Amino acid sequence: MRDIDGSYGEGGGQLLRTACALAAITGEAVRLHHIRARRAPPGLAPQHLTAVKAVAALCEARVEGLELRSPELSFHPGKLRGGEFHFDVGTAGSVTLVLQALLPAALHAGVPVRIQLAGGTDVRAAPPLDYLRHVLLPLLAQMGAEVRLTLRRRGYYPRGGGLVEIVVQPRVLNGLRLETAGPVKQIRGIAHVSNLPMHIATRMQQTAARLLADIAPVEIEQQILGRDQAIGQGGAIVLWARTDHALIGSSEVAQRGVPAEFIAGTAAQALREDIVSGATLDLHASDQVLIYCALSQGPSCFRARTLSSHAHTTLWLLQKLLPLRVVTTPADAATHVDIVPG
């Protein structure tokens, strides 16, 4: 059994999700202690319970310490299996964070996996659903992954109630090689609101388009959703820029009392900074693809504007649990990352 200090680095839930996913894939048990020690309150929150239960279901694991606010957990995996599964976070906990644990395991299940997942689709401190659909999944497709995601209903804080369906075909992944970005050809995006006035989405769209128009042609779709398409009130803006060799995204979730212009401006500025730095992956994708690169059959490389604390923590964990060589070097205004499995 591998022993993992859950307070290492940024000390958040990603360390827990990644550790359980790797345990399911490698078949080696892990014990985590001081889980989310740097968060308030510490320990397991509802979405973390769902993530661990979901991965455990895929590999018929025995789990000890799986209870709300538990600071310690032991995960004893069985054999990964496919089939149909349904999981409900039970709150507005993020479905995209649960998928961070589920997707790597599902890709290694050997047979197709179909998952219905209920919870929050667009919540703070988590990737919005459209970022997953239009940035992360296309990047994984470049590595050979085949994941089909269908949005049935959006859900927001505090009620949740969103619903997505995911079908994953098991695949051996290739390395992700993104040496240089090249000039931006087009910037696209989605600005959506649910059960809120249309002008909020319009203001997000217009602000982002104005701030990015000097880089490349901008096309941002507005989506105005009603009660049949979403539970509760909420919204988000997701932007992505395509070059000859790269896909770079950014996002921001709407917040009560925060102007639409500020929300859109924050997302647009993050995208601009990644583009100007010469990055081939944005700040968040460079964190989220690491586990897939580590599990691929070939080397990967990319440039990031900077490596987040999440990324440094994930790299520490990956090298602790897998045979892996990682080299980071300065590259003008960015950081070049080489990942060599095995």
Q: What is the set of active-site residues?
A: 310
Burial code (b: 16+ CB inside 10 Å, e: under 16) for 111-143 equals eebebebbbbbbbeebbbbbbbbbbbbebbeeb
Q: What is the DSSP track for 21-56?
A: HHHHHH---EEEESTTTTSSS-S--HHHHHHHHHHH
Longest distance between any two alpha carbons in the chain, whole Å: 54
Please name the residue that has the structure tokens 């619903």.
163
DSSP 69: T
Round to whole Å and give the CA distance between 22 and 14: 12
User: Is 36:84 a contact under the CB 8 Å cutoff?
Assistant: no
Strand 247-253, strand 2-5: pairing: unpaired
Round to whole Å and give the CA distance between 203 and 191: 9
Round to whole Å and give the CA distance between 149 and 127: 15
Round to whole Å and give the CA distance between 114 and 78: 19
Please name the residue that has the structure tokens 């910037």.
187
Round to whole Å and give the CA distance between 218 and 209: 6
Q: Give the number of residues written for the chain.
A: 342
Tokens of 58: 């895929």
Round to whole Å and give the CA distance between 50 and 130: 21
CA 130 vs. chain centroid, Å, equals: 11
Contacts (Cβ under 8 Å, ≥6 apart) of 308: 10, 283, 284, 286, 287
